[in-house]
Amino acid sequence: MSLPPIMPAQLDNEIRRIFHDEEFEEIEHKLNYVFQNKAYLVSAYTHPSKSNNCLLISYERLEFLGDALLDFLVIRHTFLNYDRNLTPGRVTDIRQDLSNNNRLAYILVSSNLHTKIRLNSNELSNRIKSYLNNKNIFPKTQSTNDRLNENISQWTDTTAPKILADVFEALIAAIFFDSGNSLEIVWKIIEPFLGTLFDRSIIDPNLNSIRSFINKGGKILEEFVDETGAVCLVQMPDGSLYEGHGKNKKLAKYDACQQAINNKN
């Protein structure tokens, strides 16, 4: 299958006006991947608000494909490597955890891959700035490596601007097309960014707080949505109650069960 028709080759001059050689090198060094066709890289960094040029498209399509590709590769990786120990249910947990936009946003920023994003929206720029300045999520002293290997479950509920996850997913699809549809190259490049997620998911049964909670005899009492978001009320067999909060009911339930489990361990 040939390269997709979304990247006209004659764009080269225009692309060189957008990013200097040093900028390409900087991104490619962080990614550990050199693009044959730099248009893919520029496109992955171009928010729709900036793609007024009808030749050079935004990351919209790449993001869409990258999302599905990441999902597929994560499932393949878990099946190939953790095999018999891993039920489809546990793979679902990992998949959900990874497709969490806040996790992907965290990965992009922790790896310093967010600095070249091209957008034309003050509001969105400000939202990105305020996310980057959240010192709870990004302590100044931490290295990229430490960040990627941190257990960031507690931050998956913070609201990172979606554009950050979108760019990460678009980069995945950009590498896929640029490498001539190579699943192996894509996986080799992105796996290091996923950090210790897999190992942690296999080792740490707490990842699936909901299942552990139910196994310990806990009960979901109530789930509802109010002005502040979703709320979930759960009860342990000894009668103790925990209230979880989240953006949606699933996250609220996760939060409540995690509280209950942590207090009982």
Q: Which stretch binds its own copies (CB under 8 A): 16-24, 29-37, 108-116, 179-187?
A: 179-187
CB of 229 to its own copies, least distance (A): 11
Report the interhelical angle of 162-178 vs 183-190 (nearest 10°). 140
Nearest CA among 66, 120, 126 for reference residue 98: 66
Distance separating alpha carbons of residues 257 and 242, to the nearest angstrom: 8
> With CB under 8 A, what is the number of residues at the site for its own copies?
27
CB of 25 to its own copies, least distance (A): 28
Distance separating alpha carbons of residues 74 and 91, to the nearest angstrom: 9
In which region does residue 83 sit, left (phi positive, over 0), alpha (psi from -120 to 50) or beta (all else)? left
Q: Which is nearer to its own copies, 44 or 109 (CB)?
A: 44
**By the rule CB under 8 A, 245 interacts with its own copies:** no
Q: Which is nearer to its own copies, 148 or 173 (CB)?
A: 173
Q: Which is nearer to its own copies, 34 or 225 (CB)?
A: 225
Contact residue for its own copies among 76, 134, 145, 205 (CB under 8 A): 76
Sheet bearing 241-246, strands edge to edge: 219-226, 229-235, 241-246
Tokens of 168: 């990460």
Distance separating alpha carbons of residues 257 and 250, to the nearest angstrom: 11
Q: Which is nearer to its own copies, 131 or 176 (CB)?
A: 176
**By the rule CB under 8 A, 219 interacts with its own copies:** no
* Residues in 82-111 that interact with its own copies by CB under 8 A: 83, 88, 91
Distances (CA, A) of 7 to 34, 49, 70, 109, 187: 17, 19, 22, 27, 23
Residue written as token pair 């900028």? 23
| Helices vs strands, H then E, count in the chain | 13, 3
**By the rule CB under 8 A, 199 interacts with its own copies:** no
**By the rule CB under 8 A, 243 interacts with its own copies:** no
**By the rule CB under 8 A, 80 interacts with its own copies:** yes
Q: Which is nearer to its own copies, 41 or 109 (CB)?
A: 41
**By the rule CB under 8 A, 191 interacts with its own copies:** no
Nearest CA among 188, 190, 14, 33 for reference residue 118: 14
Which amino acid, residue 164? L
Which string of x and - marks every residue 45-64 that binds its own copies (by CB under 8 A)? Answer: ---------------xx--x
CB of 261 to its own copies, least distance (A): 19
**By the rule CB under 8 A, 72 interacts with its own copies:** yes
User: What residues make contact with its own copies under the rule CB under 8 A?
Assistant: 1, 4-6, 60-61, 64-65, 68-69, 71-72, 75-76, 79-80, 83, 88, 91, 181, 183-184, 223-225, 249-250
